[in-house]
Chain A
Amino acid sequence: MAERSFAKEVKKLRLGSGQTFHGEGILAVTKGLLQSGVAYVGGYQGSPVSHLMDVLADGQEILEELGVHFEANGSEATAAAMLSASISYPLRAAVTWKSTVGTNVASDALSNLASAGVIGGTVIIIGEDYGEGASIMQERSHAFAMKSQMWLINPRPNLPKMVDMLEKSFQLSEASNTPLFFQMRIRACHLHGQFEAKDNVPPRFTVRDALDNPNREADKIILPPFTFLHEKHKIEQRWPAAVKYIVDHGLNEIFDGPEKDIGIIFEGGLYNVVIRALQMMGLADSLGETQVPLYVMNVTYPLVDGELTAFARTKKAVLMVEEGQPNYIEQSLNKIFNDGELTCKISGKDVLPPSGEYTGQVMKDGIADFLKKYQPDLLPDDVRDNTTVVDLSELDRAIPARPPGLCTGCPERPFFAAMKMLEKEYGEIHISADIGCNSFGTLPPFQIGNTIMGYGLGAASSSAFSSVRGKRAISIMGDGGFWHNGLTSGIGSAVYNNSDNVFIIVDNGYAAATGGQYIPSSARTLKQDERKARIQDAVQGVGVKWVRTMRSYDIAPVKSLVCEAMTSKFIGPKVIVIEGECMLNRQRREKPIMVQNIKSGRRETKARFYVEAETCTGDHACIRLSGCPSLTIKSSEDILREDPVAYVDNSCVGCGVCGDNAHVAVLCPSFSRAELVFNPNPWDRLKHSLRQAVIGFLQRRADRKRMRVML
């Protein structure tokens, strides 16, 4: 069960022609796929397209009705390889993943796919994780499109345009026998808007049809001499066919304006921010009417030389706006204008910053600088500058940063606490970290982990240290990364090389960081026999002899187990599986049941923690071992104390980590677990009243004694 349910929203996928769709970008794109007669879909979750996978999973009923096959692929490489079905069959296909990381993972299959070419329209929806809110290194997927000769669609970010371009993408792919990328930026994925729906179209050719009529085309296999022919085919036939389709169907758009001497050329995804920047300078209005002619590249690769030269031929200068680096398009533009013997000057990264997201302010400043250079009379008298009146440096000092961290009750917290305590005793250890919730272990308060190399590559990252006998390195990996590729790239390789390192797999039961999607070792009811695969079996299967399993919440045993692995005489890879279900998922499952039980009169106990403010001295050692959102601070009620005291707020789920930390690290006697009993039985009541009689009597006695002298 994913973190967010789209069960209600997917009903919108049934809308037909004449109806208006209201909803989020990813849902609109899914609708677009169904309107295009897609035959199979898949992908791998990752922000910002995690929800696209969730929508597909929740929409399976509709997909089945239409005869569309859905596959939750094991990795991006799996998804890309799945697209091979469209090489020799007219199957329309779509997969999705986070880019550029997912594209990197998929690259082997993608290169081969692009070489062989496709006859069924093949669209890869990439969530371009760039700019504010991105969680990965900042690179462009553009380079990949260029080197593999795959087309790159970057539509204007409004729902009608996105859906329309998606439908045309299938046609472009088929017209040019080329798989293509459909690029969506973070905000476009989460964009709420509307468009006029069309009827869904069942695939003309289905995966069943393909299996019933197998078709083998030997020249599509990636072996010489065909690979040389593929290269030729790409340049001589597919590329021109694509350009022809783009021109014939007007995929790129020109918005003309009276200022003919200049123009702005940009990637479609930047349209709204360009218009808003112009609007702020009085050069465009809310409805998109512009003074400056615009050439909008809804297709950013390949470029259409003829359209570009026609747009710029009589102009003094154009501004090329492309985000990220290097400035591939600007470089190509120089070549194209040179070949066309144009006198038009090209501005780009000279007035716009070479790196980083082009926000409204950046865009405005860049366009203003461009105008200053080539058409200064267009500049408004008062380019309104930052209108803030306050001293920002003073604010910078006052406002603390807010880095992300593990959720309340997270099962990885006790594990990282144990690791931190272990390092205190054992000394510092080289630790290779991984992608996933476990990445947050590298941040305060734990700061565990030296490098992150990629999803599932935590185990592989310690390879350089595998043969050193003595102090060992540790690799940490989540269960998601493990199944994504860590089993082979990391553990299998470690077995083969007789690595002496320690490999810790944190098994929280889901691909949790992307929203709780299922993976092979997930179990719907968490019964072991429901698991399709066990991590322990898998590592033993590849030859690991030293395998241990421990519950993550057992802090002291986890600490000694890792210590044992570090000091064991055993030579060879040592694998520890740390188990604890993702708390978000667990709460989602258990909370409604408890609420229901309490309502219906069944006995239930609910635990939560409490910090004794009077015995807390405000050192916060407990927080330095926890970082739990519900373990926070408040100012002390004692006016003599300056430092805030620890405090557990009502979001506590009673996981017990703060109390156990206090025990294992010998912190202080301030932690207490409250167990609230609902619907007590007669025995509960009897015990309680007996105890209260004694305790109450003694407490009243002590109260009276204290009251004798007061100040």
Chain B
Amino acid sequence: MNRPITIVISALGGQGGGVLTNWLVALAEKCDYFAQSTSVPGVAQRTGATIYYLEMFPKGRAVNNNMPVMALMPMAGDVDLVVAAELMEAGRAVQRQFVTPDKTTLLASTHRVYSIAEKMAMGDGTGDSETVITMAGQAAQEFIAFDMENLAAEMNCVISSIMFGAIAGSGRLPFSREKFEDAIRAEGKMVEANLKGFDAGYRAAQKPYNHKEETKAHTGEITGTANTPEATALIKRINALPEQAREFSYAGAKKLLDYQDIDYAAQYLTILEKFASQDKADYDLTRELSRYLALWMAFDDVIKVADIKTRSERVRAYREEVRAEKDQIVSMVEYMHPRLEEIIGSMPLGMANWVRKSPMLTWFFKKFTGPRLTDTTKIMPFLMLYFMASLKPLRRKTERFCQEYIHITDWLDRIRDVMVEDYDLAVEVIRCQRLIKGYGDTHARGLSNFKAIMAVIDDRGQVQADRVRNLRNAALADDEGESLKQELVA
């Protein structure tokens, strides 16, 4: 059929979809094609997605050099090339039926730019990338996909030049590589960087999409890097646990060694071992417990925060993340907001009670509360945090530790009680630990949701695992507690 070449480009604000479109138009016109492009930007600048649509038609096939009639919008089932600068936008192109197996080459970046709904969820609200990739692969005649954003960062160029290279590399357009590069040169902006990006995109498009195998949970022996006899003993104990729980329990033990000391890690393993001895295949309970128990035992207190913020490895990661040059001076200004509860919570139990009762001491310690900016590259603030971190050996004596210990013991007791009669329910009780996180109000809210669900389990004789799962999801649905309230009376 005497039809034009049709191209859809879907890009987010700032990804250079307009630049890419201009290159393509210039390329086509240079190669003696009529080219038409149009777009529906809407509010693209403000982070929505823009759809660009292009048609190209060889001048040689036109009669009397009359322009062909070119459409202003893509038609379902009539698109040759779809370029999506983000994974979900690729999915949306499939959704809108621009991608069909009889003609469409789909060129997609696999990276994600999360939407606000995904980001603001209280737990994990991210879209289903796996499904999108699978379906995109099925829907297209040819599916070329790679992480263009990452490649652009590596090449230190804009993502549009990667896309332009990938279009050339896909071989879908009847123009030679040189003509593509000429379009970049003709535009004359950042030519070197763009050509570098073009080349990288061109080469990446040669490889068909490689669907990575799901990373299987580690099940073999843990070797570890133990350097003392006690540590070696712990590794042995981890390897004696059911293999389904090993990866998590190793990570958990490491976390707790780092958080406190080797004894604390050993204590963790002792608890796990007790549960494991009463567990059955497939050891879901032990596996889940090894995850959530470690997270709870390493609860976030002042000592932990101070410790993390003063470490050398943290400084390295931080500097790399903010792209500091080697030797560049970088101030690291922490936004801290210690509250009286946290300060008192980090005192030994007796002292905490004493401070609470004394108005004068309360007044004194209140001086250390409230919002403050702490530059940890300055000596005094650093020393302050370093001192807080050095209180680690006293942690077991602190009020906060005692409180958490009671909560944890209570939780473990409940799991023990429940698992005899209803194994699945016990696993769900373990998973409810996920609700307890954060600091201040967030932590208080999570804990009260957790307690509300535990109360349901205690009150009623016949609670199903499903019910607990629903309650937990409701608690994660909104931070006003509305969903949980509704679910509780349901």
Binding site for B on A (CB under 8 A): 3, 22, 47, 132-135, 157-158, 160, 185-188, 190-193, 271-273, 275-277, 279-280, 285-288, 359-361, 364, 384, 386-392, 394-407, 437, 440, 443-445, 513, 515, 584, 608, 610, 612, 614-615, 617-621, 623-624, 627, 629, 631-633, 638-644, 650-651, 659-660, 662-669, 671-678, 680, 684-685, 688, 690-691, 694-696, 698-700, 702-703, 706-711
Contacts and interface: CB of A to CB of B under 8 A. Distances in A.
A444 B14 CA distance: 21
B123 A618 contact: yes
Contacts of A440: 46
B139 A620 contact: no
B116 A405 contact: yes
B384 to A, nearest CB: 12
Contact of A677 (B92, B123, B227, B329): B329
5 contacts: A187-B40, A276-B71, A286-B69, A610-B321, A633-B114
B253 A158 contact: no
Contact of A386 (B49, B68, B97, B440): B97
Interface in B253-304: 253-255, 257-258, 261-262, 265, 291, 294-295, 300, 304
Interface of B: 2-4, 14, 21-22, 25, 29, 35-43, 45-49, 51, 53, 57, 61-63, 66-78, 88-89, 91-92, 94-95, 97, 99-102, 113-129, 131-132, 135, 138-139, 224-228, 230-231, 234-235, 247-248, 250-255, 257-258, 261-262, 265, 291, 294-295, 300, 304-305, 308-315, 318, 321-324, 328-337, 339, 371, 373, 377-379, 382-383, 386, 389, 434, 437-442, 446, 479
Contacts of A633: 114, 118-119, 126
Contacts of A288: 68-69
B305 A669 contact: yes
B22 to A, nearest CB: 8
Given A387-B101, A674-B332, A711-B231, A286 B2 contact: yes
Nearest to A698: B386
Main secondary structure of the interface of B (DSSP, over half): mixed
B438 A709 contact: no
Contacts of A664: 371
Nearest to A160: B67
A706 B42 contact: no
Contact of B322 (A158, A191, A674, A708): A674
Given A3-B45, A690-B379, 17 more contacts: A190-B39, A191-B36, A191-B37, A192-B35, A273-B73, A275-B71, A360-B71, A361-B97, A389-B100, A398-B128, A399-B127, A627-B119, A633-B119, A672-B333, A674-B318, A710-B226, A710-B231
Contacts of A185: 72
A651 B47 CA distance: 13
A437 B46 CA distance: 9
A699 B315 contact: yes
A286 B4 contact: yes
B150 to A, nearest CB: 12
A709 B228 contact: yes
A428 to B, nearest CB: 11
Contacts of A617: 300, 437-439, 442
A710 B228 CA distance: 7
B300 A276 contact: no
A620 B115 contact: no
Contacts of A395: 91, 94-95, 131-132, 135
A499 to B, nearest CB: 31
B335 A659 contact: yes
B81 to A, nearest CB: 16
A700 B38 CA distance: 59
B38 A399 contact: no
Nearest to B372: A663
A614 B308 contact: yes
B117 A47 contact: no
A673 B46 contact: no
Contacts of B4: 286
Contact of A272 (B22, B71, B336): B71
A266 to B, nearest CB: 14
B258 A706 contact: yes
Contacts of A620: 119-122
Contacts of A623: 116, 119-120
Nearest to A50: B41
Nearest to B435: A619
B70 to A, nearest CB: 6
Which 4 residue pairs spanning A and B have beta carbons closest together? A360-B75, A133-B40, A617-B437, A398-B128
Contacts of A608: 322
B72 to A, nearest CB: 4
Contacts of B135: 390-391, 394-395, 398
Given A273-B71, A618-B123, A640-B295, A632 B46 contact: no
Contacts of B126: 400, 633, 644
Given A157-B72, A387-B102, A389-B101, A192 B36 contact: yes
A591 B216 CA distance: 46
Contacts of B322: 608, 610, 674, 676
Nearest to B131: A398
Contacts of A407: 45-47
A290 B315 CA distance: 70
Contacts of B119: 620, 623, 627, 631-633
Nearest to B250: A711
Contacts of A618: 123-124, 437
For A405, A445, A666, the residue with the greatest tally of chain B CB atoms inside 10 Å of its CB is A666
Given A157-B72, A364-B75, A621 B442 contact: yes
Nearest to A274: B69
A383 to B, nearest CB: 11
A404 B47 contact: yes
A285 B2 contact: yes
A677 B330 contact: yes
Q: Find the residue from A160, A644, A662, A678 having the highest chain B CB count within 10 A.
A: A644
A406 B46 contact: yes
B440 A668 contact: yes
Contacts of A624: 120, 479
Nearest to A359: B73
B454 to A, nearest CB: 20
A165 B138 CA distance: 46
B38 A388 contact: no
Contacts of A619: 122, 437-438, 442, 446
A688 B308 CA distance: 21
Given A287-B63, A387-B97, A388-B100, A400 B265 contact: no
Contacts of B95: 392, 395-396, 399
Nearest to A134: B42
A709 B295 contact: no
A564 to B, nearest CB: 20
A288 B57 CA distance: 13
B343 to A, nearest CB: 13
A294 to B, nearest CB: 11
Given A399-B127, A711-B254, A386 B77 contact: yes
A702 B311 contact: yes
Contacts of B227: 707-710
